[in-house]
Amino acid sequence: MIIPSVLAILIPLLFLYCIAALDVRTQKRRRLLITAFVWGIIAFTIAYIIFTALVNNRILTLHQIVSVGTPLTEELLKAGCLFILAIKLQIRSAVDGAEFGFAIGTGFAIVENLLYLTSTMPEVALETSLARVLSTNLMHGMTTGLVGATIGSNYYRRRRVLQVRTALALLLAGSIHIIFNQIVLYASGVSLVAIAIVFGLSGLALLLFVITLAMNAERDWIESQLQQDGVPAGERMAIVNPGLFAELLAKQKIGLDENQMKLLNEYVQLRGEKALLTRKISLNEHAEIDSGLQQQEFEITRKLDRLSREMGFYLRMIVRVLLPSAEDNRWIVLSKELGLTTEPLIQALVMMGERQSALSNKELLARRRALDHSPLFNVLLPAELDDISILLDQVVVTTGENVEIQGHYDGRLFIVAAGKLEAHVVDAFGVETTLAIYTLGGTFGELSLIDLKPHPMVVSAIEDSLLYTLSRDQFITLIAARPQVNFRLLKEMSAYIRDQTELITLVRYLGFKNLPAQVTDGKTVLPRTVSALPGD
């Protein structure tokens, strides 16, 4: 009897696993699936106690109970858990209801099968076990699954509509159960087994059809809501099909650790949940649950904000690279500007992963400090600053050493981490004019990165200095990915142009002879000291 009993447990659990695997979002809610499964066991126990008492006290005969009593009572008991989950707003859709209902039916059927096997002769126990898991088990899962799907698809409608449709679903489930029990009572031999198995498998096919329709409707709702929210098509694809996105991540060799994979998948799934919930709120006709739905939306938004902070620039870039969008012009322009395809970008991501593992916490903090003091970068989130820190290269210069040479193109953005540097130009007469002084957080080289033209000035170290550099490819990718940096760059460039305009106006107004500057050893020093101005 051991093998039949094991099969009576494992095969139904396998069916339950396959049903739950249809929807990635339900897999996240394993605790609720387990709760539903346990409720099925409890429901059977209650039903067994009730029917045993009725038979022992000769209130009903066994035939009456099996014919009508058990189907209706069992369906009501199994549905009890669905009512509780719905009241607590844990059944968000027909898919949730169907899968939780199937879990309840599976728990109920497993205990019923095991009890049935105790009164079965050993020589036919294996055949009986297999027949029941392919018939009775699937029947219980299908009937409760249909009730759950009805509750899930109608819970946001007016209360009267919900009550009527749920009652009809329970009546249908009870009727199917009664028909099945009649077949068991009056059929015999091979025909009994064949009809029962066909009945069970047909019920499973019906439930799968209902779940598929509901999942397609969910995808349409999520797609529509995301489109309204302006989410790019590539990202929409990932959110609507989180399972496919998880497979895509697993296939790409981009140096992601387990935690990063988890962050990406959780982010995509939460975006889908929020879109679906937003859609449900807009369709809700059940005023009593408005506050509960709003609270759920708030909690999901809070989780998404936390994930966004944890993901940073690196993981956001991965989503954009793996899921490009035709209407997202930023990434089309980026690809043309850098001359890159998806493969080199993925290689760049792999490089980032390798650098991250080699970078000490102390060095990461030092780079973060320089970025925090830079007007270009201090608008970013901490996790994004960490990702940019990984991209930086370190340069050490000594006093008097030139970092940029007038008329040469370097192709790097420089960020001052320590020390002091000055920017000056040399005119046709060999006179030097100091334009800016750079200290902690100062940046220079931005303009040459954008227009690919030589540096219009010389930048040299006044004292020993530590600099961090960002290549053009990395910088252009950054400003494409994070519009905040692009906006801050425009702001800094505007300030620089304004300074130059004021300088020209001052020169024209006063004339070169009265220019308020000192000429010492052929160097003209303007009376101003600045930090973190664009140097090109």
pLDDT tens track, the chain, 536 positions: 788 889 999 999 999 999 988 876 655 678 899 999 999 999 999 999 988 888 888 887 777 777 777 888 899 999 999 999 988 888 888 999 999 999 999 999 999 999 888 888 887 788 888 888 899 999 999 999 999 999 998 888 888 888 899 999 999 999 999 898 888 777 777 788 888 889 989 999 999 999 999 888 888 888 888 888 777 666 777 777 777 777 777 776 555 677 777 888 888 888 888 888 888 888 788 777 888 888 888 898 888 888 876 776 667 666 666 665 544 445 445 555 555 444 445 555 556 666 666 777 788 888 888 888 888 787 777 767 777 788 788 899 999 898 887 778 878 889 999 999 998 887 767 777 787 889 998 888 877 777 777 777 888 999 999 999 988 777 766 665 566 666 666 776 676 666 666 655 655 555 544 444 444 444 444 444 334 344 44
Retrieve residue 77's tokens: 């008991």
pLDDT attached to residue 181: 85
Strands 393-397 and 421-426: unpaired
Q: Using alpha carbons, list the distances in angstroms from residue 333 to 107, 317, 326.
A: 55, 15, 11
Query: Residue 170 has what pLDDT?
Result: 94
3-class SS at 335?
A: helix
**Residues 120-141: b if buried by 16+ CB within 10 A, e if exposed:** beeeebeebbbbbbbbbbbbbb
Helix (H, G, I), strand (E, B) or coil at 416: strand
- Whole-angstrom distance, CA of residue 137 vs CA of residue 44: 13
The pair of structure tokens assigned to 396 is: 């050490």
Secondary structure of 272-296 as H, E, C letters: HHHHHHHHHHHHCCCHHHHHHHHHH
CA distance 120 to 141: 23
The DSSP element (H or E) to which 424 belongs, if any, is strand 421-426
Opening angle at CA 452, ends 451 and 455, nearest 5: 100
Tell me the C-alpha distance between 245 and 261, whole Å.
11
> What radius of gyration do the chain's Cα atoms show?
35
List the one residue out of 386, 372, 394 whose CA is nearest residue 316: 386
Contact 492, 533 (CB under 8 A): yes
Written as six digits, the tokens of 194 are 């064949």
Beta strand 402-404 with 412-418: parallel, antiparallel or unpaired?
Answer: unpaired
CA distance 73 to 425: 91
Phi, psi (rounded to 5 degrees) for 243: -65, -45
Q: Tokens representing 478?
A: 């950054």
Q: Residues 6 or more apart from 521 whose CB is under 8 A from it?
A: none
Token digits of residue 436: 């800016």
CB contact at 8 A, 174 and 75: yes
Between CA 57 and CA 81 the distance in angstroms is 29
Q: pTM for the whole thing?
A: 0.64
Burial 389-417 (b: 16+ CB within 10 A, else e): bbbbeeeebeeeeebbeeeebbebbbbbb
Q: What is the DSSP string of 464-486?
A: -EEEEEEEHHHHHHHHHH-HHHH
Tell me, rounded to whole angstroms, the distance of Cα 241 from its chain centroid: 11
N- to C-terminal Cα separation, the chain: 84
**All structural domains of the chain with their residue ranges:** 2-224, 232-335, 361-525
**Separation of alpha carbons 169 and 517, rounded Å:** 89
Which residue in 530, 359, 311, 516 sits closest to 437, CA to CA?
A: 530
Residue 405, SS3? Answer: coil
Question: Half-sphere exposure of 123 toward its Cβ, with a 13 Å CA cutoff?
Answer: 0
- Topology given in CATH for the domain delimited by 361-525: Jelly Rolls (2.60.120)
Q: Where is 427: in which H helix or E strand?
A: none
Q: Which of 217, 216, 214, 235 is nearest to 226 (CA)?
A: 235
Specify the residue for token string 């990395």. 474
Per-residue tokens: 40 = 């099925």
The backbone torsions φ and ψ at residue 492, rounded to the nearest 5 degrees and listed phi first, read -65, -40
435 three-state secondary structure: strand
pLDDT at 290: 81
For tokens 């008329």, the residue is 407
| DSSP helix/strand/coil, 13 | helix
Burial (CB count within 10 angstroms: exposed 0-12, middle 13-18, buried 19+), residue 501: exposed
